[in-house]
Amino acid sequence: MGDFKLTSVDEFEAATARLLETGAKVGADSWQLRVKNQSPHCKFGETGVCCRICAMGPCRITPKAPRGICGCDVHGIVGRNYLKFTAGGAATHSDHGREICHTLYLSAEDGNYKVKDPEKLKRIAKEWGVETEGKDIYDLAHEMAELALLEYGKPFGTQRWLKRAPQTTQDIWDREGIAPRAIDREVSTSLHMTHMGCSSKPEALIRQSLRAGLADGWGGSMCGTEFSDVLFGTPKPIDTEANLGVMNAENVNIIVHGHDPSLSEMICEYADDPEMIAYAKSFGAKGITVSGVCCTSNEVAMRRGIPMAGNFLQQENVVLTGACEAIVVDVQCIFPALGPLSKCFHTKFITTSPIAQMPDSEFIEFHAENAGENAKAIVKLACENFVNRNKDLVYIPDMKQKATVGYSVEAIVKVLDGVTNSQVDETGTTKPLIECITSGVIRGAVAMVGCNNPKIRPDHAHIELMKKLIANDIVVIASGCAAQAAAKAGLMDKQSKDLCGAGLKRVCELADIPPVLHMGSCVDISRMMILAATLAKDSGLKISQLPVVGCAPEWMSEKAVSIGNYVVATGIDTFLGVDPYVSGSSEVAELLTNGVREWVEAAYTVEKDIDKLVDSMIDRIEEKRAAIGI
């Protein structure tokens, strides 16, 4: 196996400590310091028992004060808070999806945005019953974009994408009254239900949480993923690198951060332009390096092999290297701290979306009509900023790993074709994967997703869980910051097959894949839903019968709760390492960890101890195998 070695979290932390020394020199604040100031956290907030949705409050529930002023009990308050949390996440993902649909609507042969995967567009059009014959691809793109945008506000009916689920799943959604209607309607209904004097019954609130989650995963997020593929290309396996060492001290470093690929794609495009590279050289740099943080990084890594500088809790580190000329952000998961932090260095902090405006940033508004012009202006600004570096402050940790990323469902089907003797038609099926699972060569799969959270030692849970899972012949599909944790550690290097059990190792060798498959950003968890749906259809099983579970050990965002809800509502047991502020209500906690199983055949497990967490996932997978007799 040569000299391949994973990078450990201890090494990550040593690098961070060194960067924080630079921070101390320039008087920079950091999340590590702010966590101290915020600890211990408010117990009322942490257990979800504080209500401030009307101005008679805030009310907080204690043994002496078991009801708010309106008479709401703790279960109503916790349930409402949970639904609001979900609605925030569903709105966020879905609005990202909507932006992509708008970009598709503005795509043009000679425009800033083009259709890179016309075949996928036609496939979706057929699925939606739209005539493609003899139609100009841009006419089709505009027609499809408009139809997709109508999914957000349609007055009647449910989401088009639901038809992709197995009939058994669709029947469950219908039976339980949780098939999502218009995407915006589910978010609005959630906020209506949580208004003062509406729902306070936990069952109703949790049911709507599942429905709003489904509007995200099988609605807005799926629009985001599918039409991003149409615009920017469906990911295929591609080599890249991950961790701070991807930044280059001799080059102009541009960091893209956020979620919407419309921005980052354009920046990458211009950073590659010979004119821009020459411009960078005119300021004494050797070239331009674009690397990414968070999900926008996943997007451009999957499609272009752009390296990943880090995940969520590493965003300040990229500035602390002293070698970041510009950090360009779009939406979501961006620390407002980047503004004041950048001021301690020469770094330009550039915000681009009206959705995410922050103090101490330069705002260069980005939309489809001016994308080319503005991307070029941003790249130029970064080049010009190279001369303002304080060389004494530059320190880039010499730490990176190789990674092969880009495992869309289409790519997974393709790479596994030929691993077994199954006959695969040209559209491909998941039969080879099913054969691997049925024969026990692979025991099952875990979808590892989600963020970092200072409540959990950053990246440690992700990496330790993945190591144990692959050692037990469980293949991991990863997205979001979990995927970046894996890449930084080296788990997306094909050589990490040697850390697998014998069965998974063999599959990795035959298919030439790493044991942890990068499936994309957080909206791309919709890809995981499609994969699960396809596996169920191809095997004749229900999704809930598959030896597959979901896991978010370090999650922090509202989006993650929305995701959790749609994964559970799709019939996949989901394991969390952080409690979603529901421990204050025995009824809500019981519903989420048990009661919802009666409705959707899956539920949550919350477990902070990562050894117990991984063991319970393995047990669940083995139980599912036993139940179907494999």
**Is 508 known as a binding-site position?**
no
CA 450 – CA 404 distance, rounded (Å): 20
Stretch that binds ligand SF4, among 45-53, 105-113, 457-465, 466-474 (CB under 6 A): 45-53
**Is 344 known as a binding-site position?**
no
Measured at the CA of 80, the angle between CA 295 and CA 178, to 5 degrees, comes to 70
**Is 500 known as a binding-site position?**
no
- Judged by beta carbon distances under 5 to 8 A according to partner kind, the member of ligand XCC, ligand SF4, none in contact with residue 312 is ligand XCC
CB of 560 to ligand XCC, least distance (A): 6
Residues 359-418 that bind ligand SF4 (CB under 6 A): none
The reply to whether 333 sits near ligand XCC by the rule CB under 6 A is yes
CB of 263 to ligand XCC, least distance (A): 15
Peptide bond into 514 cis (omega under 30): no
Stretch that binds ligand SF4, among 54-62, 149-157, 260-268, 480-488 (CB under 6 A): 54-62
| Cβ atoms within 10 Å, residue 455 | 17
Alpha helices (runs of H) in 490-609, residue ranges in sequence order: 502-511, 525-539, 558-569, 586-590, 596-600
**Is 451 known as a binding-site position?**
yes
DSSP 495: G
CB of 84 to ligand SF4, least distance (A): 12
**Is 268 known as a binding-site position?**
no
User: What phi and psi values does residue 437 have, to the nearest 5 degrees?
Assistant: -75, -45
**Is 324 known as a binding-site position?**
no
CB of 334 to ligand XCC, least distance (A): 9
Candidate residues 277, 499, 522, 529; the one interacting with ligand XCC per rule CB under 6 A: 522
The reply to whether 292 sits near ligand XCC by the rule CB under 6 A is no
Query: Is-contact 515 470, C-beta < 8 A?
Result: yes
Residues 296-315 that bind ligand XCC (CB under 6 A): 312
- Judged by beta carbon distances under 5 to 8 A according to partner kind, the member of ligand SF4, ligand XCC, none in contact with residue 59 is ligand SF4
The reply to whether 78 sits near ligand XCC by the rule CB under 6 A is no
CB closer to ligand SF4 out of 71 and 540: 71
CB closer to ligand SF4 out of 52 and 126: 52
The reply to whether 58 sits near ligand SF4 by the rule CB under 6 A is yes
CA 487 – CA 496 distance, rounded (Å): 11
Candidate residues 374, 557, 565, 574; the one interacting with ligand XCC per rule CB under 6 A: 557
The reply to whether 52 sits near ligand SF4 by the rule CB under 6 A is yes
Tell me, residue by residue from 192 to 211, as one string, x for binding to ligand SF4 by CB under 6 A and - for no binding.
Answer: ----x---------------
Concatenate the DSSP letters of all residues of 580-618 into one string.
-S-TT-HHHHHIIIIIHHHHHS--EEE---HHHHHHHHH
Residues 439-498 that bind ligand XCC (CB under 6 A): 450-451, 480-481
Tell me, residue by residue from 156 to 195, as one string, x for binding to ligand SF4 by CB under 6 A and - for no binding.
Answer: ----------------------------------------
CB closer to ligand SF4 out of 77 and 415: 77
Alpha helices (runs of H) in 258-314, residue ranges in sequence order: 261-271, 274-281, 294-304
- Judged by beta carbon distances under 5 to 8 A according to partner kind, the member of ligand XCC, ligand SF4, none in contact with residue 57 is ligand SF4
Two structure tokens written together for 118 = 């016309």
Candidate residues 57, 339, 340, 501; the one interacting with ligand SF4 per rule CB under 6 A: 57
The reply to whether 72 sits near ligand SF4 by the rule CB under 6 A is yes
3-state helix/strand/coil string of 118-141: HHHHHHHHHHCCCCCCCCCHHHHH
All residues at 6 or more sequence positions from 4 whose CB lies less than 8 Å from its CB, including other chains: 490, 493, 495, 496, 498
Q: Provide the Cα torsion 9, 10, 16, 22; round to 10°.
A: -170
**Is 259 known as a binding-site position?**
yes
Nearest to 239 by CA among 522, 514, 515, 526: 514
CB of 67 to ligand SF4, least distance (A): 8
**Is 295 known as a binding-site position?**
yes
User: What phi and psi values does residue 75 have, to the nearest 5 degrees?
Assistant: -70, -40
CB of 70 to ligand XCC, least distance (A): 33
CB of 73 to ligand SF4, least distance (A): 9
All residues at 6 or more sequence positions from 73 whose CB lies less than 8 Å from its CB, including other chains: 61, 66, 67, 200
Nearest to 492 by CA among 256, 261, 244, 237: 237
Query: Is-contact 407 492, C-beta < 8 A?
Result: no
For 32-187, strand residue ranges (E) read 50-51, 59-60
Cα–Cα distances (Å) from 565 to 56, 85, 411, 516, 576, in that order, read: 31, 11, 26, 23, 12
The reply to whether 295 sits near ligand XCC by the rule CB under 6 A is yes
The reply to whether 49 sits near ligand SF4 by the rule CB under 6 A is no
CB closer to ligand SF4 out of 81 and 408: 81
**Per this entry, what is the length of the chain?**
630
**Is 333 known as a binding-site position?**
yes
**Which stretch of DSSP H or E encloses residue 77?**
helix 74-105
Cα–Cα distances (Å) from 362 to 96, 329, 509, in that order, read: 22, 11, 48
- Judged by beta carbon distances under 5 to 8 A according to partner kind, the member of ligand SF4, ligand XCC, none in contact with residue 97 is none
Query: Among positive and negative, which fits the CA dihedral 444, 447, 453, 459?
Result: positive
Stretch that binds ligand SF4, among 17-25, 46-54, 450-458, 620-628 (CB under 6 A): 46-54
Please give the residue ranges that form the binding site for ligand XCC (CB under 6 A). 294-295, 312, 333, 450-451, 480-481, 521-522, 557, 559-560
* Binding site, annotated residues: 42, 50-51, 54, 59, 70, 259, 295, 333, 451, 481, 522
* Binding site, annotated residues for [4Fe-4S] cluster: 42, 50-51, 54, 59, 70
* Binding site, annotated residues for [Ni-4Fe-4S] cluster: 259, 295, 333, 451, 481, 522
Please give the residue ranges that form the binding site for ligand SF4 (CB under 6 A). 51-54, 56-59, 68-70, 72, 77, 196
